[in-house]
């Protein structure tokens, strides 16, 4: 499949994608209920999309193009209501979280779709192990070159989004010690990581053509990069976040990305460089392993500081742009979350310490997903 031309989209518009866990309401294990759920849900007048994911205990929902995170939250609220109404008829539960805490990968069933069959033929058991759940956010770019510049400028902030969303401490019934263990499943794929450092679409087209000639890739979907261009949408897509435990958190994260993109594009606080990636993998690991408790290295000064401090400083720096994007309330809520000290992964561990059963933790995750409470 040739690389499509980069479409125009309005700068800083956003779109949110969430991968959700579909669980049975008896044992709270993943259920192969996605197909039945999608058949049952009412999509009349739906803005956005609901579709299956790679295995039967997953679904993906997405908003339409949104001018700001308030519109995104309204659309997510509507989609959630439709899904919960359908799930109740089927004795299914829905929840966020980057991993299901005790499901076993070998029990998963691959959804019968051509692309999923093709991926399973290529990657084998990795596709069943890829039963993990992430939030992706698209941000609109007016042209391809500005998209690539924004993509590489955002690279230094990747740890922020990993730490803010981290809620996958458990895998296969065990505490991994990670705040976001989900990312370890992504890193297993050979085309994961970061995009090549090119700043013009002509250079990117040349790179893609070389990769396509090798037969390694057929299209952009074959790249599992942390941020990748989506030329047919005219966006770049941030892909490192765990699916949050609430839709309010999902919308707030989209608002922070929008404010950050405005800050980078309008103020141009630095020029992206290839050397920025010297500390990229270290910073990403720190955020995945330790979350808000990790460290981060400034790629230009070499200064090492607590990730929490870097986040607090950046949230303060982008505040005027958050106001312009109607994301000021969202960023203020994230600031309270960061300064409070407990991450969502910490919250999940606290529930397990109290309840002594991971099934009960999943039940509580479902309660949080269903709740109308606006707290993150």
Q: pLDDT truncated to tens, each residue of the chain (376 aa)?
A: 689 999 999 999 999 999 999 999 999 999 999 999 999 999 999 999 999 999 999 999 999 999 999 999 999 999 999 999 999 999 999 999 999 999 998 889 888 888 888 888 888 888 888 999 999 999 999 999 999 999 999 999 999 999 999 999 999 999 999 999 999 999 888 899 999 999 999 999 999 999 999 988 989 999 999 999 999 999 999 999 999 999 999 999 999 999 999 999 999 999 999 999 999 999 999 999 999 999 999 998 999 999 999 999 999 999 999 999 999 999 999 999 999 989 999 999 999 999 999 999 999 999 999 998 888 8
For residues 313, 318, 322 and 323, what is the CA-based torsion angle, rounded to 10 degrees? 100
Q: Residue 246: how many CB atoms within 10 A of its CB?
A: 22
Distance CA 29, CA 348 (A): 16
pTM (whole model) above 0.95? yes
Q: CA angle, corner 154, sides to 347 and 309, nearest 5?
A: 50
Yes or no: is domain 14-370 CATH 3.40.50.1370?
A: no
Closest by CA position to 222, among listed 195, 202, 185, 197: 195
Position 110 scores a pLDDT of: 87
Which residues 6+ apart lie within 8 Å of 315 measured at CB? 256, 331, 334, 335, 338
CB 348 within 8 A of CB 97: yes
pLDDT at 97: 98
Q: Which distant-in-sequence residues (6+ apart) come within 8 Å of 44 by Cβ?
A: none
């Amino acid at each position: 499949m040739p690389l499509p031309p980069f479409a125009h989209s309005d700068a800083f518009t956003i779109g949110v994608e969430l991968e959700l866990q579909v669980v049975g309401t008896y044992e709270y294990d993943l259920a192969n209920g996605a197909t039945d759920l999608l058949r049952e849900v009412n999509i009349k007048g739906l803005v956005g999309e609901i579709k299956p994911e790679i295995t039967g205990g997953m679904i993906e929902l997405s908003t339409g193009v949104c001018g700001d995170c308030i519109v995104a939250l309204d659309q997510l609220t509507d989609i959630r209501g439709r899904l919960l109404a359908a799930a109740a008829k089927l004795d299914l539960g829905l929840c966020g979280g980057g991993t299901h805490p005790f499901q076993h990968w070998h029990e998963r069933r691959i959804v019968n779709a051509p692309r999923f069959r093709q991926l399973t033929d290529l990657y084998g058991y990795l596709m069943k192990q890829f039963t993990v759940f992430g939030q992706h956010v698209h941000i609109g770019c007016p042209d391809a070159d500005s998209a690539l510049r924004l993509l590489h400028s955002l690279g230094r902030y990747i740890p922020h989004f990993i730490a803010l969303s981290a809620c996958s401490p458990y895998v296969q019934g065990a505490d991994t010690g990670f705040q976001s263990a989900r990312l370890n499943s992504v890193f297993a794929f050979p085309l994961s990581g970061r995009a090549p450092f090119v700043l013009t679409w002509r250079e990117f087209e040349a790179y893609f053509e070389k990769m396509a000639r090798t037969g390694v890739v057929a299209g952009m979907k074959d790249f599992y990069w942390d941020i990748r261009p989506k030329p047919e949408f005219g966006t770049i897509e941030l892909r490192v976040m765990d699916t949050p435990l609430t839709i309010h958190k999902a919308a707030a994260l989209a608002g922070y990305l929008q404010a950050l993109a405005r800050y980078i594009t309008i103020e141009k606080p630095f020029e992206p460089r290839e050397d920025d990636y010297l500390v990229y993998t270290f910073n990403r690991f720190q955020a995945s392993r330790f979350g808000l408790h990790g460290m981060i290295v400034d790629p230009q000064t070499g200064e090492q500081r607590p990730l929490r401090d870097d986040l607090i400083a950046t949230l303060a720096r982008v505040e005027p742009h958050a106001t312009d994007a109607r994301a000021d309330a969202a960023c203020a809520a994230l600031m309270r979350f960061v300064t409070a000290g407990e991450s969502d992964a910490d919250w999940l561990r606290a529930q397990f310490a109290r309840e002594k059963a991971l099934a009960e933790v999943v039940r509580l995750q479902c309660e949080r997903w269903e709740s109308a409470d606006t707290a993150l």
